[in-house]
Amino acid sequence: MNKTSETRKEEIVRVAAKLFKKKGYSAVTMRDIASEMGIKAASLYNHITSKQDILDVIIISLAEAFTEGMQQIRSSEENCVGKLKQIIELHVRLSSQNIYGMASLNNDWMHLKEKRDYFKRLRVNYEDDFIDILKKGIASGEILDAKPEIMMFSILTTLRSLYIWIPKKEDLDLEELIGTLSKILVKGVAC
């Protein structure tokens, strides 16, 4: 496997994700993607089997990366606040590495077909793991005794929207972003 040069399929996925972020999956045509690459739409089908195929790759690979990250955090030795900071770091890292893909993960998952149920399972499991961390923090006295669902909602929506904000500040220091977010988000729920 050659990791230094991008395959044609990877290029299609990358270009498509960029367009999906701008207009959404349904509004982007195969001609749009091809045109952006300087080729004709029919040529795309030598590398991918369908438009659906492109969306599947974008979303599932990212969803699995989040699942993997959460599994590592779960098995870490940190306390609850430490795990929250690890979650924040996970989102900042994956979001900044794949801004365009994060847009599809958030907005285009409903256009998945066969992989839709699998995606939803991954997402529910992720949220369950997140709530579990908060509940243990409440029990141990690290975390504010408020509804864990609302606390998770508040933190997770901020993290899920990072892809909108990261590209706006070209001078953005990722470490500083992680620090400020940790301060704000953790302070909001900590005791």
Given candidates 7, 72, 97, 180, which one binds its own copies under the rule CB under 8 A? 180
Closest by alpha carbon to 119, among 60, 31, 68, 57?
60
Q: Which of 23, 50, 124, 150 binds DNA (CB under 7 A)?
A: 50
DSSP letters spanning 98-116: -HHHHHHHHHTGGG-STTH
Instruction: Please tell me whether residue 40 adopts helix, strand or coil conformation.
Output: coil
Amino acid sitting at position 75: S
- Residue nearer to its own copies on the CB measure, 86 or 182: 182
Out of 35, 43, 107, 125, the only residue in the binding site for its own copies (CB under 8 A) is 107
State yes or no: residue 45 binds DNA (CB under 7 A): yes
Min dist. Cβ of residue 68 to DNA (A): 29
Q: What length is written for the chain?
A: 191
Q: In sequence order, which residues have a C-beta less than 8 Å from that of residue 94 and are 6 or more positions away?
A: 62, 65, 66, 69, 102
Q: Which residues bind its own copies (CB under 8 A)?
A: 22-27, 107-108, 110-111, 144, 146-147, 149-151, 153-154, 157-158, 160-161, 164-165, 169, 177, 180-181, 183-185, 187-189
Q: Which residues bind DNA (CB under 7 A)?
A: 8, 28-31, 34, 38-43, 45-47, 49-52
